[in-house]
Amino acid sequence: MLRYLNQCSRGRGAWLLMAFTAFILEMVALYFQHVMMLRPCVMCIYERCALFGIMGAGLVGAIAPKTPLRYGALLIWLYSAWEGVRLSYEHTMIQLHPNPFVTCEFAARFPSWLPLNKWLPSVFVASGDCSENQWSFLTLGMPQWLIVVFSVFLLIALLVVIAQPFKPKRRDLFSR
């Protein structure tokens, strides 16, 4: 299995699949916001940024999967998935154990060199309350589902990193 994961990390298909999966999840988030009229909170916006990081890692990995650029994509993927798990867990704790002293911020804070909330306010401006559970499916709220999603991304990323030293087998058509 590790050889197979190494082989997949050296091709564009797996990287593009990862980017496409993150893109679909971003589109679902925008559907929830603009069609179902759910108001995203600051933690939701930060979780979106983590998903954009995973999508970016997939695109970076797809550019040149057989070069050392692949390792940069793996680092972006690991960091984004880890931050996604951390943010989703923190968001879940805010929802499950509401406390007037532990709340989220009123507005997302982005660096001055990357003001996403000013460049694309329809995606990156928060208007909801972090402690409010606006949606659930199979008794789990959105941040709980995001823990699952980011954990899967993180687990796969860790397996791909572990698989890097395992060289793919060369298959020769006429070997014994």
50-59, 79-88, 112-121: which range is least confident on average? 112-121
User: Is residue 87, in this structure, part of any structural domain at all?
Assistant: yes
User: Is residue 176, in this structure, part of any structural domain at all?
Assistant: no
User: Is residue 173, in this structure, part of any structural domain at all?
Assistant: no
User: Is residue 75, in this structure, part of any structural domain at all?
Assistant: yes
- Tell me the residue range of the domain where 144 lies: 1-164
User: Is residue 170, in this structure, part of any structural domain at all?
Assistant: no
User: Is residue 169, in this structure, part of any structural domain at all?
Assistant: no
CATH value at residue 138: 1.20.1550.10
Instruction: Note the pLDDT tens digit of each residue in 149-172.
Output: 999 999 988 888 887 776 766 654
**Beta-carbon contacts of residue 160 (< 8 Å; ≥ 6 apart):** 5, 6, 8, 9, 74, 77
* Residue 66: pLDDT over 90: no
In order, the DSSP letters of 151-172 are: HHHHHHHHHHHHHTTSPPPPP-
pLDDT score recorded for residue 68: 82
Instruction: Note the pLDDT tens digit of each residue in 96-105.
Output: 887 777 677 7
Output Rg (C-alpha) for the chain, integer angstroms: 19
More confident residue, 124 or 29: 29
More confident residue, 133 or 43: 43
pLDDT score recorded for residue 84: 94
Instruction: Note the pLDDT tens digit of each residue in 21-39.
Output: 999 999 998 898 888 888 8
> Which tokens in the block code for residue 134?
């606006």
54-58, 72-76, 165-169: which range is least confident on average? 165-169
**Number of domains observed in the structure of the chain:** 1
CA 41 from centroid of its chain's CA atoms: 17
Angstrom distance (rounded) from CA 26 to CA 55: 9
Kindly report the CA angle at 55 between 131 and 5, in degrees rounded to 5? 115
Angstrom distance (rounded) from CA 128 to CA 25: 19
**Catalytic positions, written as ranges:** 41, 44, 48, 104, 130
Residue 117 CB neighbour total at 10 angstroms: 16
pLDDT score recorded for residue 51: 94
User: Is residue 175, in this structure, part of any structural domain at all?
Assistant: no
Which pTM was predicted?
Answer: 0.80
